[in-house]
Structure 1
Amino acid sequence: MKKSIYTAGFIIFLFIMFSSSVEAQARKEYGAPLGTYEGDQGVKIVSFSKNWTSQEKLKSIYDELLKNFHGEELNFLSTIYIYPDSPDGVAGNYFEDYDINSEGKYVYKKGRYIEIFNGDQYKDVSQLAWVLSHEYGHHFTLYYLLTKENKHFNQWEQTKYAKIRGLTNYKEVEYYSVNDTGYIHKWDVAEIAAEDYVQLFGSPTAKKSVDYKDVKERVEQNIKDYYYSTDSFNLLPQENLSIPLAADVPGLYLYWLRMAGYTTVEPTLPTKPTLTIKKVGEIMPGYPQYEISWEPISDGKNYEYTLISYPVDDNHFPRPVKTVVTGEPMRAYIGSAVSRNKDTNNLILDDQYKGEYYFRLFIKDPKGFMFSTEPIKFKFEEISKKPLYLMTDVPDHHWAKEAITTVVDHDIAKGYEDGSFKPENKVTKAEFMTMLIRSTDHKLTKKNNEDHWFVKQGYFDAAKKMKLVSEADYGTNFSKLKYDDTLTRDEMAAMVGNFLKYLGYTNSVGQNFNFSDAKNIQHKKELGIAFYYSILSGYPDRTFRPSGKVTRAEAAAIITKLLKLTGG
């Protein structure tokens, strides 16, 4: 008598165990069940999860089970256990058991059961539908292999299943046993069979699709990225993309169906589209956009097309490109896109395709069978691109929009990785001096043995040569100059005045400023120069506010005035 456990999950491990008794039994460490439901077919749903306690919710799991194709094998399943967490780090387990009679025939035993983990993470039956279908797939495929072919998966090379599926053509295929090492889940024959079951016989809920958007739509709708989950059947119909999808294998559907005592028509597609990829241009220098197009299947039926991609050397986690349905344009865009609508001002999205990629279509027919086109390879050209700072938080009506755009375009100031500029953030002393220096063609001398970027990149030496700061203000050897302290308006006046003097602009107005707080201004001479050339000004209430802090937007406006004055 033999007991095996098949497990399923995003990262999945499979264990084989031997036992003398494997009737359905709950894990003792979870205590008493929080809810139990028994359906009219005799299968019990037993829950230890707080999310699955009511008869209504437990019945929904039972009903979902029956939406998967089933035959006589259902009579050998007794219980589905729902647990709140996953002590073994898996999504589900299936427990098999059988005898071998005196004639050498396998005899499947009743009382089989399934464990579904992470119940506390599932709020709706749709979230666990794939795991349930996959585990039932273990039950279905092993039952008929044993009872109709008298073969176990450890004899897989001798089965009609392996011949039809073409599994002997792949040296990586194996059946996992307690002596195996280097186990690779996607090449386990029992797991391949269970995934075949989901594709061919799984419920519509287990095979539900995600409506993926291409780069143009994502930038308009502010969708940053997609992540794989078991809800994404149309992104990854099966874990192993190195072998054909189940519906693409002639005879595979009818093989399992006949073993269950049924027959029907083989699922096929009349034609399979061919993909075409072309570069349509660059949305800005170094940021290309590509169009992928194909012809629709024209037989009067409605199909769903999901375009996916993956690097040529790694097909483990495909990247979704777009989902379209019959009647929609058969094209998708990848690469870069930009939007200038009022909600996502100047937002860019860059898919970062580098090197060689495969592209293929997963096509779902009206009955839910999934087919695949042949992958096509495309090599993306190497393009040098500079960082983009798109001021997503600087709308068109912002008072400093033009100035911010100017300093960013001239590489004088930079934005943040999230695309923002943060115009109301305060500027530090080091940042403002750096902006002044970058607005000239001054050559920097780096000092790699220094820690602070302002010194290390040579900006401090440049500031001293330009006399933007003085020891009179900041002490001997500038000991009182704190690079990261916020810049005051008085300090800004000193730096701007000194900068103008360095460039040869020395005219000034009288020192008797008509400011109510003029007595608090320390750098009147430098402020006079900045006033003369209309670089700085005061406030409408006749104040200068020398101790006020300077924002990034204000700094950008000042630098832009200097550029216009100097023609820089």
Structure 2
Amino acid sequence: MKNAIMWFLLLFISLNVSLPVYAEEGKTAVFVSPEGIQFSSYSKLWNEARLKGLYEMLLRCGHGEEFAELKEVVLNSKSSTGKSGFRVGNYNSKTQIIQLYEVDSLQQVERTLIHEYGHHFTYYWLQKKEGFYPNLLTELSGWSKIRQLEGYPIRWFGSKLPYNHKWDPAEIMAEDYVALFGVGGIALPDQPKDVVNLVRHENEYIPSPQSIPELRSYWEEIAGMKPQKPLGVPTIQQWNTVGVKGENSGSLHVSFTPAADGQQQIKYGVNTMGFGERVSIPVKWTTGLTGSGTELVETQLDVNLFQEHPPSYYYFQIWSLDRENQQLTYTPFYMNWFQYDASSQQLNAVSPPMEVYGWQDELKKEGMEHWPLLNIFINGKPVTTILRHESEDSSVYISWRLFSKEELPTDTKMTDLRFENVWMLTASYNEHNVEYVMDNDYFVVNGIRTSLIKPVKWVGSEPFISINDLAQMFEVSVKLDESGMGLYIESA
């Protein structure tokens, strides 16, 4: 009888007393952070020490009070699928739990965790700032206006387009977090050339988050983070011709604007790719250098691979890493394309060859009607890429800011510069000084009054001028390329 009673008591205890979490079926290790975040492993490869390493990695990423609100990070050795198919991570906004999958074989567990934490960060703060989660975002939200996604097939709330991971606003937000605030959690290389491909955004067709200073400020402000001035995105200023024959063939001298705005040390990685006339795997090579200050950065590129059969197109991507401030930028996919002219053995700056390699067709299948960006070249040099703006009669407009003599306000909350008592706009280029008084149908250039061909167009708080007016304003020739993606401005 005593044995029966003892057995009953043991059974009762086993059913009602909470056992240590590491004794749960299949769970191999647990680490609980000082904030109470539980890191649970269902993999023999991830012990308590490695779980603690994941916690310390997350601490090095940018965060605010939302960090302590994360409940658990679970590492699974098994695979999983979601609405976009196979997945390596998942964030549940209701339970505030991150799930990581395939952790035994996945090479980038840390990178995946930073992305999933990006969901936690952006879900938490968007709810605080705008009152809803990312899955309810529309084009009219505050974040959407800052993010510059007009013309892209974004799967906004209510979209009838089929689901596509890279066009999901929530996924764009999480990838933005990785690029803006996740660099501190990534093992940073010692060699400059290894900066190339260190962190890539899943969607490289949209403007890079680092190129939108207001985006970084948006998150820093609402999360109470210490503001940092973003690194600049380098633009190529000079390049020597690529030789095909002769003793000096196979080299290319390139100079570009620095990413630094002061004396901080920057590691630059330059990734060069060459594309043939038809769709094929590009040939590529990298080089690296370290620079500081605000002078032009110069490098010599070895292109001996292309001596006999130079590519039709070259693409230069410049990566910039500021280790001290944990910032990384790289020139976006749609900038720094060059076409090789065999007769002159020169490279000419062009807009990306979207149609040549079928990229435009692929984007159309995903819901993009027209490429929404405009590459601007002045006297043969790539200057900037902006969202394409047109009037009702399809006239193309560009920002007054490109030629302005003074810094214009950039507050995205403004609806019109006139509310800031800015009544006159000034611009200067090619020895032509232009003045324009708000709401007039004329401008004054070097003291001579001239009628506008097209009225000034306002895009939010920023004035845009028709490319038809550029010739009489600055005595330049203006031409759109056949694709309509490149605008070439040449001094007369």
C-alpha distance 268-118 of structure 1, shift in aligned 2 (>3 A)? same
- Which residue does 2:416 correspond to in 1? none
- Which residue does 2:57 correspond to in 1? 64
Deviation of the 1:233 alpha carbon: 6.8
- Which residue does 2:32 correspond to in 1? 38
Preserved contact between residue 359 and residue 376 of structure 1 (Cα < 8 Å): yes
**Mapped pair 1:330 → 2:308:** no
C-alpha distance 64-283 of structure 1, shift in aligned 2 (>3 A)? farther
- Which residue does 2:185 correspond to in 1? 205
Deviations 1:187-230 (A, max 9, x none): 221111111111221142337358475xxxxxxxxxxxxxxxxx
- Which residue does 2:102 correspond to in 1? 118
Q: Distance in 2 between matches of 1:142 and 1:210?
A: 34
What are the equivalent positions in structure 2 for 1:365-514 lying under 5 Å apart? 365=322, 366-373=324-331, 375-381=335-341
User: Which of 250, 254, 260 is matched with 2:213 structurally?
Assistant: 250
One-letter code aligned to 1:300: Q
Deviation of the 1:232 alpha carbon: 6.7
Q: Distance in 1 between matches of 2:88 and 2:253?
A: 38
**Mapped pair 1:150 → 2:131:** yes
- Which residue does 1:81 correspond to in 2? 74
Preserved contact between residue 34 and residue 49 of structure 1 (Cα < 8 Å): yes
What are the equivalent positions in structure 2 for 1:70-219 lying under 5 Å apart? 70-88=63-81, 89-97=86-94, 111-121=95-105, 127-153=108-134, 154-167=136-149, 169-175=150-156, 180-181=161-162, 183-206=163-186, 208-209=188-189, 211=191
Structure 2 alignment gaps of length 5 or more: 1-20, 344-492
One-letter code aligned to 1:255: Y
Q: Distance in 2 between matches of 1:76 and 1:144?
A: 12
> What SS class does the counterpart of residue 204 from structure 1 fall into?
helix
> What SS class does the counterpart of residue 117 from structure 2 fall into?
helix
C-alpha distance 371-58 of structure 1, shift in aligned 2 (>3 A)? closer
C-alpha distance 203-376 of structure 1, shift in aligned 2 (>3 A)? closer
Q: Distance in 1 between matches of 2:242 and 2:158?
A: 52
* TM-score, structure 2 normalization: 0.53
Deviation of the 1:382 alpha carbon: 6.2
Q: Distance in 1 between matches of 2:310 and 2:75?
A: 41
Q: CA RMSD in A?
A: 3.9
> What SS class does the counterpart of residue 71 from structure 2 fall into?
strand
Q: Distance in 1 between matches of 2:226 and 2:191?
A: 33
- Which residue does 1:363 correspond to in 2? 320
Deviation of the 1:177 alpha carbon: 8.0
Preserved contact between residue 208 and residue 234 of structure 1 (Cα < 8 Å): no
Deviation of the 1:34 alpha carbon: 1.2
Preserved contact between residue 192 and residue 290 of structure 2 (Cα < 8 Å): no
Preserved contact between residue 248 and residue 372 of structure 1 (Cα < 8 Å): no
Q: Distance in 2 between matches of 1:35 and 1:352?
A: 56
Deviation of the 1:323 alpha carbon: 2.6
C-alpha distance 117-148 of structure 1, shift in aligned 2 (>3 A)? same
> What SS class does the counterpart of residue 145 from structure 1 fall into?
helix
* TM-score, structure 1 normalization: 0.47
Deviation of the 1:289 alpha carbon: 4.3
Deviation of the 1:87 alpha carbon: 3.6
- Which residue does 1:561 correspond to in 2? none
Q: Distance in 1 between matches of 2:45 and 2:104?
A: 6
Q: Distance in 2 between matches of 1:32 and 1:200?
A: 36
Q: Distance in 2 between matches of 1:135 and 1:302?
A: 30
C-alpha distance 160-86 of structure 1, shift in aligned 2 (>3 A)? same
Deviation of the 1:44 alpha carbon: 0.8
Preserved contact between residue 35 and residue 46 of structure 1 (Cα < 8 Å): yes
Q: Distance in 2 between matches of 1:381 and 1:133?
A: 44
Q: How many residues align?
A: 306
Deviations 1:473-498 (A, max 9, x none): xxxxxxxxxxxxxxxxxxxxxxxxxx
Deviation of the 1:135 alpha carbon: 0.5
Deviation of the 1:292 alpha carbon: 3.2
Deviation of the 1:310 alpha carbon: 5.5
C-alpha distance 361-302 of structure 1, shift in aligned 2 (>3 A)? same
Preserved contact between residue 64 and residue 203 of structure 1 (Cα < 8 Å): no
**Mapped pair 1:274 → 2:271:** no
> What SS class does the counterpart of residue 59 from structure 2 fall into?
helix
Preserved contact between residue 279 and residue 288 of structure 1 (Cα < 8 Å): no
- Which residue does 2:223 correspond to in 1? 260
One-letter code aligned to 1:63: E
- Structure 1 or 2, whichever has the larger Rg, is 1
One-letter code aligned to 1:59: K
One-letter code aligned to 2:240: K
C-alpha distance 72-203 of structure 1, shift in aligned 2 (>3 A)? same
Preserved contact between residue 199 and residue 207 of structure 1 (Cα < 8 Å): no
Query: Which structure has more strand as a fraction of its residues?
Result: 2
Q: Distance in 1 between matches of 2:93 and 2:342?
A: 53
Deviations 1:433-485 (A, max 9, x none): xxxxxxxxxxxxxxxxxxxxxxxxxxxxxxxxxxxxxxxxxxxxxxxxxxxxx
